[in-house]
Amino acid sequence: MDEKKEMDIIKNLRTIEWLKGEILASVASLYQLLAKGEDDTKDDLEDLISNIMLLSFLLSKRLGINYEDIISNLKDKVKLNILEGHKIEKWYGDLSELMEFIRTK
């Protein structure tokens, strides 16, 4: 294996490890924020959740999974949970709302 290819593999592995750490840190921050139970956390929650989503997409790319496959898999999971009558869907209709959102974007 040539040196450039080895360097690319090492760089990719380091990036994967870094992204995993960032996801973990964001999830921990989300837990801490929720544990505080404060009322004015909407902006912070949006920031943390969107960061977790961003990092997850970037990690999927580094793992060789393209964005379209992630979205397709997400749609399949939402459909399946709607069909199986997931409690969140029964109680709130959140999955149908999410499916509609995904379709329009």
Q: What pLDDT, in 10s, does the model give residues 3-61? A: 878 889 999 999 999 999 999 999 999 999 999 988 889 999 999 999 999 999 999 99
* Structural domain of 99: 66-105
Residues 27 and 75 placed together within one structural domain of the fold: no
Co-location of 40 and 59 in the same domain:
yes
Per-residue pLDDT for 90 more than 80? yes
104 with 75, same domain: the answer is yes
Whether residues 14 and 50 fall in one domain: yes
Please enumerate in sequence order all residues whose Cβ is within 8 A of that of 23, keeping only pairs 6 or more positions apart, or say none. 52, 55, 56, 59
**Burial level of 95, CB count in 10 A (0-12/13-18/19+)?**
buried
- CA 72 – CA 49 distance, rounded (Å): 20
**Residue-level pLDDT at 40:** 85
Tell whether 56 and 81 lie within a shared domain: no
Tell me, what's the pLDDT at 13?
Answer: 96
Q: Decide if 57 contacts 67 (C-beta within 8 A).
A: yes
Q: How many domains does the chain have?
A: 2
* Residue 74, pLDDT score: 97
Same domain, 10 and 54: yes
Same domain (yes/no): 13, 56: yes
pLDDT category of residue 95 using cuts at 50, 70 and 90: very high
pLDDT given for residue 1 in this prediction: 59
